[in-house]
Amino acid sequence: MRPAAPEDAAQLARLHAISFDRPWGAMDIHQLLTTGAAGLIADEAGFILWRAAGGEAEILTLAVDPARRRTGLGHSLTLAALAAATDSGAKVMFLEVAADNPAAIALYEKAGFSRAGLRKAYYVRTKGFADALVLRRALNRDEALGL
């Protein structure tokens, strides 16, 4: 695993494009990485971006190449982001996940996230909308490392 840098934006956009119906472009990712977001890349097959400020952190996106899903890569990226956010002083981490994505929900629940809210019709789909679950996890160093 290595830190994501603005010059990785094109590669991260390619991974995002094969992971999401409405992917982020390289310019979007570059802007995030130059305006305070942090990220990690794992094996050039997955990445996670998050932002931390004022004692809170938020996972912005997590993308894993479909060929590498269910191998633990997403879980490892999530735990690493939790640890990094904890090290930066965050006490809690949030994220939104599509309510119609049971694999992602299971990944985040395995990492200790629990439901904190619901955003109706948050994600645009080809046919309609999907709700977003707002998930929350308290942070401390040992738990962030999965210990």
Task: Write out the catalytic residue numbers.
Answer: 96, 108
**CA 38, CA 48: separation in Å to the nearest integer?**
8
Separation CA 60–CA 48 (nearest Å): 8
What would the mean pLDDT of 51-56 be, rounded to a whole number? 93
Q: What is the mean pLDDT of the chain?
A: 92
Q: How much is the pLDDT for 21?
A: 85
**Residue 15: predicted pLDDT:** 96
Residues 88-114 have pLDDT tens digits of 999 999 999 999 999 999 999 999 999
69 pLDDT exceeds 60? Answer: yes
Can you give the residue ranges of every domain in the chain? 2-144
Q: Which residues contact 17 (CB under 8 A, 6 or more apart)?
A: 23
pLDDT, tens digit (0-9, with 9 covering 90-100), for 15-45: 999 998 889 999 999 999 999 999 999 988 9
CATH class of 2-144: alpha beta
Return the pLDDT at 146: 52
The span from the CA of 39 to the CA of 60, in Å, is 10
| Stronger pLDDT, 88 or 146, i.e. the higher one | 88
Report the pLDDT value the prediction gives residue 109, as an integer from 0 to 100. 96
